[in-house]
Amino acid sequence: MLHPFAATVLGAVEGLTEFLPVSSTGHLILTSHLLGLRGEAIKTFEVVIQSGALAAVAGLYRAQVVSMWRGLLGHEPEGRALLLKLLRSFLPAAVVGLLLRRTIKDHLFSLWPVVAALAAGGLVMVTLSRWMRDHPVSPKTISSMTSRDAWLIGVAQCLSLWPGSSRAMVTIVAALLLGLPATMAAEYSFLLAMPTLGAATVFDAVKGGRLLVEDIGWLSLLCGFVVSAAVAAAAVRGFLRFLTRTGLAPFGWYRLGVAAIIWMVVGPTGG
């Protein structure tokens, strides 16, 4: 059984990092490594506690959720348009993830693939921040995004299937390059998390549900969910304020720093 304290720690890490461009999956893998947690049940738990973070963002963006639901029922065209954009962005990673799920879990859910992805993503964000200062793009809004824009963000999201790359990072970067201001790029990434992570959570819960109950336990599952939701709600609000003031570069430097520290502490032959 997973101790509730360990589940609480993992829930806090998930909630803090899920919507930041630092990779929640990467941080969960690193945290599990430090806590000495191994096994298929832990990998499934790391995915399933995303439901807490999703509950938080659904609550924070309940107006858009209601608008999309009304659009689905034919009552609100703006909500329907947003829903269709999110579905287009969701589909590429859903298909690729379904095809490569086993390969990814078997070969990439370990220390050094995560470290490599953290470093690469950090370099991308630092470089992009500098490039965008000298090459401004025409601003868009989520409403003015085209179907092509939604598909391109979806294709970019496929890169996040490599643990450590960060779903938030690749979708925010893609949205920025397509012309969305930083806060709107982040908000679209938050909304896109609902179908993307929701589908992954349900899939893993169905596939590994019995193992979760037997090896993790209901109390630890509840601790992970509640803590993840509470921390994610605070993290989303803080991230938007921080992003407005500083941009993505500090997160890029953070990722590079984490990768460098792990390299120095563990060593290339460790882990």
Q: What is the DSSP letter of 61?
A: T
Model pLDDT for residues 71-128, shown as the tens digit of each residue: 999 899 999 999 999 999 999 999 998 888 888 878 887 888 989 999 999 999 999 9
Q: What is the DSSP letter of 39?
A: S
CB atoms within 10 A of CB 8: 16
* Six-digit token string for 86: 């999110």
Model pLDDT for residues 243-256, shown as the tens digit of each residue: 888 889 999 999 99
The predicted structure's pLDDT at residue 26: 83
CA distance linking residue 170 with residue 157, whole number of Å: 6
Q: Decide if pLDDT at 267 tops 70.
A: no
The ranges assigned to domains in the chain are: 4-266
Give the DSSP H/E element, type plus range, for residue 165. none
CA distance linking residue 134 with residue 200, whole number of Å: 38
* Six-digit token string for 101: 């799920």
The predicted structure's pLDDT at residue 244: 85
Give the pLDDT band of residue 194 (cuts 50, 70, 90): very high
Across the chain, what does the average pLDDT equal? 89
The predicted structure's pLDDT at residue 121: 95
* Six-digit token string for 219: 């109390």
* Six-digit token string for 81: 């348009």
Higher pLDDT, 201 or 56: 56
Q: Lowest-confidence range among 44-53, 147-156, 174-183?
A: 44-53
The predicted structure's pLDDT at residue 63: 95
CA distance linking residue 6 with residue 4, whole number of Å: 5
Give the pLDDT band of residue 175 (cuts 50, 70, 90): very high
The predicted structure's pLDDT at residue 206: 78
- Summarize the confidence of residues 136-155 as an average pLDDT: 90
